[in-house]
């Protein structure tokens, strides 16, 4: 396992001992280096795909009915928990556990969906399951994925609950007020929670909740930056039509705003990976403007020129402020 | 540990998050091991510069606003031209775009790179030149294919990219190049998946060209320091090379489907992809600088073997499913373990 250089850890520890903020007798810490994002992506993607194959294998071998899927789903979570707990620092068991957990979650979702015949109930039960995984599972990757999927389940459940039958044709049947209510109900708590977690980072880092807090910050930040389409107006019935509503510009604008907030918090956390996610999210939401055919190209052009000029002027003013504050 | 809290805010005019020598997960583990209280964590944060200073935040916001503003203005100009297409005469259209390119180039000369204004102006000039080529093609109906526009744009926009020596501009330039390559290879905007699996319209040799072109760009960005001034640009080029390699490899793996057997072209493409993986892995192992190329090799290998096993799924049934799940777990575990070991060894050396 890669470790942070011991002399760095020792220097930090010595400083804290000097200030009487740490115990001098504690044995030196051997800190594992953070796994690069692309290695985590490789492991996560492979684990997910393996979980999918495992679920199909399970269904093919055991041929369970609706309750059977739920029971197998929960049993697989228990198996994943023991696999994670039994072998710390073993990537093989970690991957095996991730596969079991993913297969279990999919099995659980399928079983609940089949038993209740209600997408809202399925979404809500998945939300509960993800929160439980976030709190209980002894793996940082599993916790982070759980936080991300919990946010997605939260958004989908509320969308289903508020819009009901018009889930997929909200453009034609749902008013702006309802969509705005949905957006605020879904994203305001997420944004407030993220803001609080970033602001009070040192507090929760000093408690037993530090790993869960970290996973929640990363999972929620990714969901907020990329998940904005979950609360936008959709119209899959008639495609993108030319009589779109004049307020369509609102959704990508809100999305860009949230992605910008995530980018700022990523900078606060000094996380390049999260900053990259925020940039991808912002560009994705911005590109949505192109498809908003209800607004003329000229209007879009003026809006962008005006906003672009404003941003550059603001940036220039800020830079001058920084230069003025600098000592000669 | 180096205290990265910069006393001189001038240095922070180029904001960076490179200064985070100790990452958050490492600080989490440190706080856990020494059972630190809030004060202890705050002291550790201050010591390692875990939170950016006020000057760093201001610089970051200023830089982000400038880049976002420049991109918005560029998009706004393109939209403005498109909106007034019918109303403007031919000369009016050309004058508008040419004046835009000239003004941005003049601004870059007046406030040259590495100043952010000069770099942003060159980015605008590059995007404006693309709009100019599109205008030329549409006005005079040259009969050229769409990919030719992107190739011309990439080639004639090179001076702007070299003058800026700036990662974001090279990143945009790479996107233009790869759009051209994708168009050459058969990608059409009306659906990636449809194109991906319609092997009949795709020619292997064109996908090979895309791989080799990106590989050459990776070599340039890796070896010529100061061209892009950012490691992520060379990584982007290599990612594109492996993206096309995966595309070609998956097509070749399924190429024999229905016909019952692989064609010679399929086998050659697979051999090339294997050669690419071996070559890049060997280079990375010799250089001992970055594990990212190795992770691309690992990902491509896992994907292509999974695809190959998937081919057997039709006949293999449940046994193949078990094999696929086991392969994915074992291969990704070994890959991650080796990658982290290399990362540790190379850091020490």
- Inform me whether the pLDDT recorded for A176 exceeds 80: no
Lowest mean pLDDT among A241-255, A301-315, B170-184: A241-255
Residues 169-188 of B with CB under 8 A from A: none
- Inform me whether the pLDDT recorded for B332 exceeds 60: yes
Looking at the predicted complex, does its ipTM rise above 0.95? no
Distance CA B188, CA B195 (A): 7
Cα A269 to Cα A34, A208, A221, A264, B136, distances in angstroms? 14, 20, 11, 9, 46
Q: How confident is the model at residue B199 (pLDDT cuts 50, 70, 90)?
A: very low
- What's the confidence (pLDDT) of residue A236? 47
Q: How confident is the model at residue B122 (pLDDT cuts 50, 70, 90)?
A: very high
> In percent, how much of chain A has pLDDT > 70?
85
Q: Does A199 contact chain B (CB < 8 Å)?
A: no
Contact list, A32 vs chain B (CB under 8 Å): 25-26, 29
CB A116 within 8 A of CB A67: no
Residue B144's CB: how many other CB atoms inside 10 A? 14
- Inform me whether the pLDDT recorded for A200 exceeds 70: yes
Contact list, B88 vs chain A (CB under 8 Å): none
Residues 203-232 of A with CB under 8 A from B: 203, 205-206, 210-211, 214
- What's the confidence (pLDDT) of residue A105? 93
CB B251 within 8 A of CB B306: no
Q: Does A293 contact chain B (CB < 8 Å)?
A: no
Distance CA B287, CA B66 (A): 36
For B106-124, what is the mean pLDDT? 89
**SS (HEC) of A264-328:** HHHHHCCCHHHHHHHHHHHHHHHHHHHHCCCCCHHHHHHHHHHHHHHHHHHHHHHHHHHHHHCCC
8 Å CB contact of B55 and A94: no
For the ranges A277-281, B184-188, B295-299, the one whose mean pLDDT is highest: B295-299
8 Å CB contact of B24 and A34: yes
For B102-118, what is the mean pLDDT? 90
CB B111 within 8 A of CB B118: yes
Residues 68-97 of B with CB under 8 A from A: 68-77, 79-80, 82-84
Mean pLDDT score of chain B? 81
- Tokens matching residue B164: 């800026």
Q: How confident is the model at residue B241 (pLDDT cuts 50, 70, 90)?
A: very high
- Inform me whether the pLDDT recorded for A94 exceeds 90: no
- Inform me whether the pLDDT recorded for A127 exceeds 90: yes
Q: How confident is the model at residue B30 (pLDDT cuts 50, 70, 90)?
A: confident
Record the pTM: 0.76
> In percent, how much of chain A has pLDDT > 90?
36
Distance CA A13, CA A27 (A): 10
8 Å CB contact of B72 and A307: yes
- What's the confidence (pLDDT) of residue B202? 53
Cα B229 to Cα A77, B113, B154, B178, distances in angstroms? 46, 12, 19, 20
Bridge partner list, A3 = A32
Distance from CA of A270 to the nearest CA of B (A): 5
Q: How confident is the model at residue B175 (pLDDT cuts 50, 70, 90)?
A: very high
How many A-B residue pairs are in contact by the CB < 8 A criterion?
284
Distance CA B8, CA B243 (A): 43
Give the contacts of A256 (CB within 8 A, at least 6 positions apart).
A282, A285, A286
- What's the confidence (pLDDT) of residue A262? 96
- Tokens matching residue A259: 């992605």
Q: How confident is the model at residue A327 (pLDDT cuts 50, 70, 90)?
A: low
- Inform me whether the pLDDT recorded for A212 exceeds 70: yes
pLDDT digits (tens, 9 = 90+) for A34-76: 788 899 889 888 988 898 888 888 888 877 776 788 998 999 9
Q: Which of A304, A261, A254 is nearest to A279 (CA)?
A: A261
Distance from CA of B34 to the nearest CA of A (A): 6
Contact list, A296 vs chain B (CB under 8 Å): 83
Q: How confident is the model at residue A2 (pLDDT cuts 50, 70, 90)?
A: very low
Q: How confident is the model at residue B316 (pLDDT cuts 50, 70, 90)?
A: low
Q: How confident is the model at residue B133 (pLDDT cuts 50, 70, 90)?
A: confident
Residue A169's CB: how many other CB atoms inside 10 A? 16
For A184-201, what is the mean pLDDT? 96
For A244-267, what is the mean pLDDT? 82
Contact list, B43 vs chain A (CB under 8 Å): 15-16, 19, 21
8 Å CB contact of B65 and A12: no
Burial of B8 (0-12, 13-18, 19+ CB in 10 A): exposed
Select the residue of A12, A268, A269 nearest B44 (Cβ to Cβ).
A12
8 Å CB contact of B39 and A264: no
């Amino acid at each position: 396992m890669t470790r942070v250089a011991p002399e760095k850890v020792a220097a930090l520890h010595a400083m804290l001992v000097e200030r009487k903020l740490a115990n001098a007798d504690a044995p030196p810490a051997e800190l594992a280096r953070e796994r690069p994002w692309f290695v985590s992506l490789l492991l996560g993607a492979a684990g997910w795909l393996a979980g999918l194959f495992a679920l199909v294998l399970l269904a093919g071998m055991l041929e369970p009915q609706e309750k059977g899927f739920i029971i197998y789903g929960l049993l697989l979570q228990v198996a994943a928990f023991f696999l994670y707990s039994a072998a710390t620092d073993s990537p093989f068991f970690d991957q095996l556990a991730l596969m079991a957990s993913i297969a279990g979650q999919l099995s659980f979702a399928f079983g609940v969906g089949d038993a209740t015949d209600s997408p809202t109930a399925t979404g809500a039960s998945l939300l509960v399951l993800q929160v439980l995984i976030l709190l209980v599972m002894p793996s940082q990757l599993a916790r982070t994925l759980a936080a991300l999927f919990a946010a997605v389940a939260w958004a989908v459940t509320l969308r289903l609950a508020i819009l009901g039958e018009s889930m997929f044709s909200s453009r034609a049947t749902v008013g702006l007020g309802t969509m705005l209510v949905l957006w605020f109900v879904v994203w305001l708590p997420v944004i407030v929670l993220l803001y609080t977690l970033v602001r009070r980072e040192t507090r929760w880092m000093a408690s037993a909740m530090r790993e869960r807090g970290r996973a929640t910050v990363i999972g929620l930040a990714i969901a907020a930056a990329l998940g904005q389409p979950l609360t936008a107006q959709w119209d899959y019935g008639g495609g993108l039509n030319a009589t779109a509503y004049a307020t369509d510009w609102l959704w990508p604008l809100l999305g860009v705003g949230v992605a910008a907030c995530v980018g700022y918090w990523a900078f606060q956390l000094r996380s390049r990976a999260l900053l990259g996610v925020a940039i991808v999210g912002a560009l994705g939401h911005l590109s949505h403007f192109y498809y908003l055919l209800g607004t003329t190209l000229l209007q879009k052009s003026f809006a962008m020129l005006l906003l672009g000029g404003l941003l550059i002027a603001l940036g220039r003013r800020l830079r001058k402020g920084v230069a003025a504050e600098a000592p000669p | 540990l180096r205290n990265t809290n910069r006393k001189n805010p001038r240095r922070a005019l180029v904001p960076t998050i490179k200064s985070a020598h100790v990452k958050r997960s490492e600080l989490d583990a440190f706080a856990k091991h020494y059972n630190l209280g809030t004060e202890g964590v705050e002291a550790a944060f201050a010591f390692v510069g875990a939170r950016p200073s006020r000057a760093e935040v201001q610089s970051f916001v200023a830089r982000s606003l400038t880049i976002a503003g420049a991109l918005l203005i560029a998009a706004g100009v393109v939209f403005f031209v498109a909106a007034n297409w019918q109303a403007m005469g031919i000369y009016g259209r050309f004058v508008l775009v040419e004046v835009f390119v000239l003004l941005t180039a003049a601004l870059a000369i007046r406030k040259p790179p590495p100043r952010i204004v000069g770099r942003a102006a060159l980015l605008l000039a590059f995007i404006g030149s693309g709009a100019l080529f599109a205008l030329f093609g549409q006005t005079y109906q040259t009969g050229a294919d769409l990919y030719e526009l992107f190739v011309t744009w990439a080639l004639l926009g090179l001076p702007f990219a070299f003058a800026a020596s700036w990662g974001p501009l090279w990143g945009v330039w790479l996107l233009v190049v790869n759009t051209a390559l994708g168009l050459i290879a058969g990608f059409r905007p009306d659906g990636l998946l449809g194109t991906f699996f319609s092997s009949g319209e795709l020619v292997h040799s064109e996908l090979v060209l895309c791989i080799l072109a990106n590989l050459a760009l990776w070599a340039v960005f890796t070896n010529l320091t100061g061209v892009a001034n950012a490691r992520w640009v060379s990584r982007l080029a290599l990612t594109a090379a492996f993206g096309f390699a995966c595309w070609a490899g998956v097509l070749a793996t399924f190429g024999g489907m229905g016909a019952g057997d692989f064609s010679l072209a399929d086998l050659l493409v697979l051999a090339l992809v294997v050669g690419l993986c071996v070559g890049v892995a060997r280079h990375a192992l010799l250089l001992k600088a970055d594990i990212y190329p190795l992770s691309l090799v690992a990902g491509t290998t896992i994907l292509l073997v999974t695809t190959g096993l998937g081919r057997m799924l039709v006949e293999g049934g449940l046994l193949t499913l078990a094999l696929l799940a086991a392969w994915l777990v074992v291969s990704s575990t070994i890959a991650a373990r080796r990658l982290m070991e290399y990362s540790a060894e190379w850091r020490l050396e």
